[in-house]
Amino acid sequence: MNTKKVFLGVDVGSVSINVVAIDQGNNVLGKIYVRTEGKPIQILKKAMEDMASMLPVGVEIRGVGTTGSGRELAAVVVSADVVKNEITAHGIAALTFVPDARTILEIGGQDSKIIILRDGVVSDFAMNTVCAAGTGSFLDRQAARLNIPIEKFGELALKSKSPVRIAGRCAVFAESDMIHKQQMGCSCEDIIRGLCEALVRNYLNNVGKGKEILPRVVFQGGVAANVGIRKAFEEALGYEITVPEHYDVMGALGAAILAKDYVSKGHKTKFRGFEEILKKEFTSRSFECNGCANYCEIVELIAGDSVAARWGGRCGKWTRTNQTAEKRSAVM
Amino acid sequence: MKVTFPHMGQAYLAIKGMLDDLGIEVVIPPPITERTLEIGTKLSPEMACLPLKINIGNYIESVEKGADTIIIAGSCGPCRFGYYGVVQKEILKDLGYDVDMIIFDPPDSDYRAFIERIRKLAGKNSWVNIAQAFKRASIIVKEADEMLDIALRKRAREVNKGDTDSRLYRFEREVWGKYGSQEILETIRKYKGILSQVEEKPRVSPLKIGLVGEIYTLVEPYVNLHIEKKLGYLGVEVYRSITLHEWVKVHLSLDVKHRMRHKRILRKAAPYLNLCVGGHAWQTIANSIYYSECGLDGVIQIMPFGCMPEIVAESILPKVYQDYGTPIMTLVVDEMTGEAGYFTRLEAFVDLLEQKRRSKADEYKESLFRG
């Protein structure tokens, strides 16, 4: 029996860490979605442990890719072959699973983006810049405040008969407007539905401003689980929205696919191996560089007893010894 | 009199050289750092644009080093820069700084005031001396920009990543202690040679990106978060539409041929925008079209937050993209800009261009098979 070739994708985001394993036919063998809880290294190690236990014995990891805001960190911990930004990763994943996609709406924990695809390549994109209104964290907070489990949030919104209008321009104003509507006696369902509509309006006016949204529209990211938001998007755009099966881990999937492509070009994986990731002690320490008046805070990641990577310098003095930077240039 | 001035990219080389030659004592403001920005942000109106804040930071840091006179260019264009000198003067006065400020407005109508200001600065120097010092300063501007152009070419092709920048870093250290335009020019020429020796990878054809946008953000690397360096690291060759040398050639020199070329490019924007709406908005549109026609892979527009002229340009650029097919991305910078998100956008944009180039190459291959 020949061993199965497996590719891993790791997405370290601000709110969640996702790990997926795919085979050569892009079939998902296992996926893990855990909260970052501000401790990316420990949680990532735990996620890797879970992934190792999920995969059948005897599989061979042939490649690993990382993405998300913590991609550099994750790349050092797992020793990744490919380090890619989340826009490219999401674009690749959507195109793989929904080949005729022309627009991707992605709403994650702390950022939201729109990716425009034409003829199978990314042709334009935008990310939210200043405001967190409309992202997963905000919805989470409102659900907690209304004492509704976040999983039920969308279903409740669909029950609404006459949604109220919520000011969605800013997270703080949206919250006070919601409270105001509550005190007026509006029903919980109507308020939630109103909030979903406000968030969609806000997204389309900010992130989606000036972008040509054409079907097929794919909606991904953790918030895509919310049927209320999904419905609001469909009403605002007038198109049917496709939510892919693995909507919540599309970034990680993209990273895995990119790793697969990279390895298929004849490269050998640098993956550390599950055991070594778990055994190795990763610690970080930071210090202030006194080279100039910038006083950059330099963070060092130490793997075992050697410095694995450094971040944070503006001038490049410290990143020059950065292994991940070299790796990235090797990938390019 | 100890004279200082705000930083703007390589401008300090030329200004220092010129003032040295005229025998005027100069205080070069310390390189822009986090501290400069912090001082500027604290002392400036919150709604002011980023360059003003950094200027203020420069002044204060120079005054700490003993400067008592500030020189700054003015402008009569419909952009907030026109008010910079006057507003900054008021801010410094309110703070209780006893400094003199000489504002050089373009001498569009009032030559007398202009001449008086030059006299005030140059003291007993003869007009011949002044003219010569000015001429040498413009040569410094030209050669410094040529040096940066070499760096732009090298970064995208260097064998050992970081070679170019470590040489530029050495240049900055060395030139800091030089006196007079002659010495500064010699250092620039020496480093032009040193940079040319950076080993290049053979047969690479890097992605090409053109930078357009507001002049200060384009010229001052601290403000644009070292975009040229970052793109170079990603293996991109950068083209700059607006440089100090370009500005000098258009506004201060008698290079008629160049002015005609400049106007020819501006004319390309006519279907979209056919007049100056302040700042460099007109140039931004025109250069985006020009770069598209030249076959560059992409264009990046950079501007400070709240820059009115560039906002006008930003809203026109999607139309240019539609008509010419060269992707254009806009980046806005201010004191809140996070470096990680900025880099993510650059990386994603470069990926986009790479994919586009590859799919074009595939199409070409297919057409060969068919035909």
For the segment B184-203, the average pLDDT, to the nearest whole number, is 94
Is the Cβ of A69 closer than 8 Å to some Cβ of chain B?
Answer: yes
Is the Cβ of B229 closer than 8 Å to some Cβ of chain A?
Answer: yes
pLDDT the model gives residue B180: 94
pLDDT digits (tens, 9 = 90+) for B306-351: 888 999 999 999 899 989 999 999 998 887 777 778 888 899 999 9
pLDDT digits (tens, 9 = 90+) for B147-167: 999 999 999 999 988 889 989
How far apart are the CA of B134 and the nearest CA of chain A, in angstroms?
32
Is the Cβ of A120 closer than 8 Å to some Cβ of chain B?
Answer: yes
Using pLDDT thresholds of 50, 70 and 90, give the confidence band for residue B78.
low
Domain identity same for A263 and A297: no
CB B196 within 8 A of CB B23: no
pLDDT digits (tens, 9 = 90+) for B283-294: 999 999 999 999
pLDDT the model gives residue B328: 93
pLDDT the model gives residue A51: 93
* ipTM given for this complex: 0.79
**Burial class of residue B139, CB neighbours in 10 A (0-12, 13-18, 19+):** middle
| Domains defined for chain B, CATH in brackets | 2-124 (3.40.50), 145-155+157-202 (no CATH), 206-371 (3.40.50.11900)
pLDDT at B53 over 90: yes
Domain identity same for A239 and A258: no
Domain identity same for A84 and A23: yes
Domain identity same for A82 and A112: no
Which segments in chain A show pLDDT lower than 50? 1, 321-332
The residue of B347, B349, B358, B360 whose CB has the most chain A CBs within 10 angstroms, and thus the best one to mutate to test that interface, is: B347
pLDDT digits (tens, 9 = 90+) for A92-126: 999 999 999 999 999 887 788 999 998 888 888 88
Other C-beta atoms lying within 10 Å of the C-beta of residue B11: 21
Contact A120 B348 (CB under 8 A): no
pLDDT at B240 over 60: yes
pLDDT the model gives residue B109: 66
Helix and strand totals (H; E) in chain A: 11, 13
Is the Cβ of B332 closer than 8 Å to some Cβ of chain A?
Answer: yes
| Structure-token pair, residue B123 | 């003291």
Query: Collapsing DSSP states into helix, strand and coil, what is residue B156?
Result: coil
CB B74 within 8 A of CB B82: yes
Domain identity same for A182 and A103: yes
At which of A279, A296, A323 does a domain end? A279
Is the Cβ of A329 closer than 8 Å to some Cβ of chain B?
Answer: yes
Domain identity same for A119 and A223: yes
Domain identity same for A307 and A195: no
Is the Cβ of A209 closer than 8 Å to some Cβ of chain B?
Answer: no
Domain identity same for A221 and A310: no
CATH of residue A232's domain is: 3.30.420.40
Using pLDDT thresholds of 50, 70 and 90, give the confidence band for residue B179.
very high
Is the Cβ of B123 closer than 8 Å to some Cβ of chain A?
Answer: no
Helix, strand, coil percent values for chain B (each to nearest 5): 60, 10, 30
Domain identity same for A217 and A292: no
| Structure-token pair, residue A224 | 């895509």
Find the domain containing A310 and state its range: 282-331
At which of A243, A267, A295 does a domain end? A243
pLDDT digits (tens, 9 = 90+) for B220-238: 999 998 999 999 989 999 9
Using pLDDT thresholds of 50, 70 and 90, give the confidence band for residue B13.
very high
Domain identity same for A115 and A215: yes
- Cα three-residue angle A313-B44-B220, rounded to 5 degrees: 45
pLDDT the model gives residue B86: 87
How far apart are the CA of A207 and the nearest CA of chain B, in angstroms?
13
Of A127, A210, A293, the CB nearest to B345: A127
Averaged confidence pLDDT in chain B: 90
Domains contained in chain A, number:
3
As a whole number of angstroms, the distance between CA A101 and CA A214 comes to 9
Domain identity same for A198 and A274: no
At which of A243, A268, A293 does a domain end? A243
As a whole number of angstroms, the distance between CA A329 and CA B9 comes to 27
Nearest residue of A to residue B318 by CA position? A210
Strands of B298-304's sheet in order across: B236-240, B207-213, B298-304, B328-333
As a whole number of angstroms, the distance between CA B255 and CA B300 comes to 28
Contacts of B225 (CB under 8 A, 6+ apart): B333, B337, B339, B342
Domain identity same for A136 and A103: yes
